[in-house]
Structure 1
Amino acid sequence: MTTPTLQDLTQSLLSQNLPPPHPAFLAPILNPAGSQRIPPLQALTATAKVRLLNSDFTAPNILDQNKAHAFPAGFSDVTVAERKLAFDVVVQVRDVEDIGRSKWEQIESLESERKGESTKGRQVIRILPSIADEAPSTAATQVPAGAQQAAQMKSSGPFKLLLQDFRGAIVYGFDLHRVEKIGFPGTGNGAMSIGCKILLKKGTKVARGMVLLEPAFTVLLGGKIEGLDKGWREGREKSLREAIGDGKRRREDADVAAD
């Protein structure tokens, strides 16, 4: 069996719509410490793919900056009515906004989740942990808490995503038409996490600095940046409350100016 080379592994990853990794990123995968035998190309590709998708693309020696594509200059210019990507760009998700629900509705869902509550019509149901030696629970409490929370938090969108290329440039994306797997982190419906990688194909439209996410030009590759994802989840309720407060202050300032 032929020993896989750096070029073999790179080409294998590129064939799966992944951006070109830096040789330094692939070196420890091709030559695992303490191993007398190099795994076959298929196994190496699987390992490299998982590590790549869970890496921060803005960190040094992750992507080959001489070969990877980033957003072109002026990409987020709001004065340009419409433009299209001239090449494929793989980005990572830094933030997600649920445009389909009000911020207060999202805060109430988070509060209920924290209290271990779910809703059935107008009835509030407290979700209690199952204990093996207790009497059988009701049908409502037989559903795992995680499933209850997932159903409660599930939203059909649309969603507004903050996207970042490997150079650190950011731009907002909007799912103009429902894109498979785009969803709210933590909904349990196969939705993405913060740090998820997305392939924006050549021809992707950008209108007034906003990337229009459409099924024909958008592919979710998966992955997660653990620290960013954890921080986003823990700080989400605070961010929602701050956004509501900022909006209220702007309205008050506008009322004062009008008077």
Structure 2
Amino acid sequence: MPNLQDQLTAQLLQTKSLPVSPIWLNNFLSTISAAQRNTPIPALTQTALFRLLNSDFRESLTSRSTTILPVEISDTNVQERRLTGTIPVQVLDIEDIGTSAWSQIEAIERVERGEAVRGREIVRTVNVGDDDQDERPAANANASNGPHRVILQDAKGTRIIGIEMKKITGLAIGKMAIGAKLLLRGVIVARGIILLTPESVTVLGGKVEAMDQAWRAGRKERLRQKITET
């Protein structure tokens, strides 16, 4: 009869392709109550998955040779190759390369000025007496149309750039946090860059809070630097 840790390890690998670190899983189990341990395995697996998606994969996953990026993955001399298997990665950076940096800065500054926000949509408030007193949609600083450029990192810490070749649902600024987790399946790597398509990417979600806060705090300055460098 497999113990609880073995059952969770098998469930997370079979259902989500996540090779969980025994140390991380043991620490997870030490934080849950006796009552939670007696919940059905599918429910306990979901709790563990939530924690995993909000962890740093370098600490929570094992670095199996079949589930990490090849060491030479960023070699620009390799014209094209397809990676086999399923590789879990986390997002370290996301950039909307389909929208100008100035437009993105302006959208951020509209939010900083305190313009009205309804859900994820920024709206301009209209003064009484204007002919048209309806609220009009303004630019949305919390979302992006793409295509997107991302920096991805595997469980061993290897990084690679990815470019969105076709629209991937959930991959957008405002929808995806830094530290969000993806599964790469059979992706093509061309000149050291992963070509991301809906067929090769599964968005699992999640985030790493400290990474996400630091990224948001520095985003406007990075956009300004991009402008000065061009």
TM bracket, shorter-chain basis = 0.7 to 0.9
1:1-259 map, 5 Å: 5-32=4-31, 35=34, 38-59=38-59, 62-66=60-64, 69-117=67-115, 125-126=124-125, 139-140=134-135, 151-184=140-173, 186=174, 191-201=175-185, 203-247=186-230
Cα displacement (A) at 1:86:
1.8
Name the amino acid aligned to 1:116: G
TM-score, length-normalised on structure 1? Answer: 0.76
SS in 1 for 2:149: strand
CA distance in 2, matches of 1:242, 1:94: 18
Post-superposition offset of 1:242 = 1.5
Q: Count matched residues.
A: 219
TM-score by length of 2: 0.85
CA distance in 2, matches of 1:150, 1:27: 46
In structure 2, what residue type is equivalent to 1:72?
P
Q: CA deviation at 1:126?
A: 3.9
- Alpha-carbon distance in structure 2 between the residues aligned to 1:3 and 1:207: 43
Cα displacement (A) at 1:158: 0.4
CA offsets 1:142-172 (integer angstroms, 9 cap, x no match): xxxxxx6784543321000111111111111
- Distance change in 2, residues 1:48/1:101 (3 Å): same
Mark the structure with the bigger radius of gyration. 1
Preserved CA contact (<8 Å) 2:53 2:205: yes
Is this contact kept in 1: 2:108–2:141, CA < 8 A? no
Is the Cα contact below 8 Å between 1:177 and 1:213 reproduced in 2?
yes
Counterpart code for 2:217: E
Segments of 5+ residues of structure 2 without an aligned counterpart are 117-122, 128-132
Question: Structure 2 CA distance, aligned partners of 1:9 and 1:17?
Answer: 11
Query: Against the structure 1 CA distance between its residues 127 and 92, is the aligned structure 2 distance closer, same or farther, given a 3 Å change threshold?
Result: farther
User: Contact 2:95–2:149 (CA<8 Å) still a contact in 1?
Assistant: yes
Q: What is the one-letter code of the residue matched to 1:48?
A: A
Q: CA deviation at 1:17?
A: 2.1
Runs of 4+ residues over 4 Å off in structure 1 = 31-34
1:101-139 deviations in whole A, cap 9, x for unaligned?
111111111111111237xxxxx93489xxxxxxxxx64
Identical-residue share of aligned pairs (%): 39
CA deviations over 1:29-80 (Å, ceiling 9, x no partner): 4454652653221221011101111001123xx2123476211121111111
CA contact (8 A) 1:196 1:223 kept: yes
Q: Which moved more, 1:192-201 or 1:17-26?
A: 17-26
RMSD over equivalenced CA pairs, Å: 2.6
**Counterpart of 1:49 in structure 2: which amino acid?**
L
Q: Which runs of 5+ in 1 are unaligned?
A: 119-123, 129-137, 142-147, 248-259
Deviations 1:163-196 (A, max 9, x none): 1111111111011011111111x2xxxx211000
Question: How far off its partner does 1:18 sit?
Answer: 3.6
